[in-house]
Amino acid sequence: MKKTLRFFDKLEDLVRSTLSHVPIIYSIIGGVLVVLFWRSVWHTADILMAQGGILGVIFYEPIQLVLTVIGLLITGLMVSVFIGDRIILSGLRHEKKLEEVTEELMKEEVVSLMSIRNELRTIKKEIEALKTSKK
């Protein structure tokens, strides 16, 4: 069992490493696989509902909605999947939206770069002065 898990772990690392060099192809493959996964889950639920009996009741859409919401809430996935941790944390911290933060950071960066440029010019002048004083 450990050898099998190790094999698939190494295979996953190899595939991710290879595909990370071609992100567009990686995203297309990932998107198709995710859609096919959910399509198969959907069709499996339909097949199980068609079986009737207890499976028909469990996989009947309104009952399934209630059961899945309860499951998502119990596991803590409801909020993290549908809203995302980042949005919640930024709201709790009273942070600005990403676009606003990015604009502020760009302005700060411009000021920092101008300051660095001025310091470099000063250092350059000092070096030139030292060179001329040595001659």
Same domain, 41 and 82: no
Instruction: Return d(Cα 60, Cα 67) in angstroms, integer.
Output: 10
Same domain, 89 and 105: no
The predicted-structure confidence for 72-92, as pLDDT tens digits, reads as follows 889 888 877 777 666 666 666
Instruction: Using alpha carbons, list the distances in angstroms from residue 58 to 53, 62, 63, 98.
Output: 9, 9, 6, 42
Q: In this predicted structure, what is the pLDDT of residue 84?
A: 67
Q: Is-contact 68 61, C-beta < 8 A?
A: no
Q: In this predicted structure, what is the pLDDT of residue 132?
A: 85
Instruction: Return d(Cα 67, Cα 125) in angstroms, integer.
Output: 73
Q: Is-contact 84 75, C-beta < 8 A?
A: no
Q: In this predicted structure, what is the pLDDT of residue 106?
A: 78
The predicted-structure confidence for 88-105, as pLDDT tens digits, reads as follows 666 666 666 666 667 777
Rounded to two decimals, the pTM is: 0.54
Same domain, 10 and 40: yes
Same domain, 135 and 101: yes
74, two tokens: 């119990």
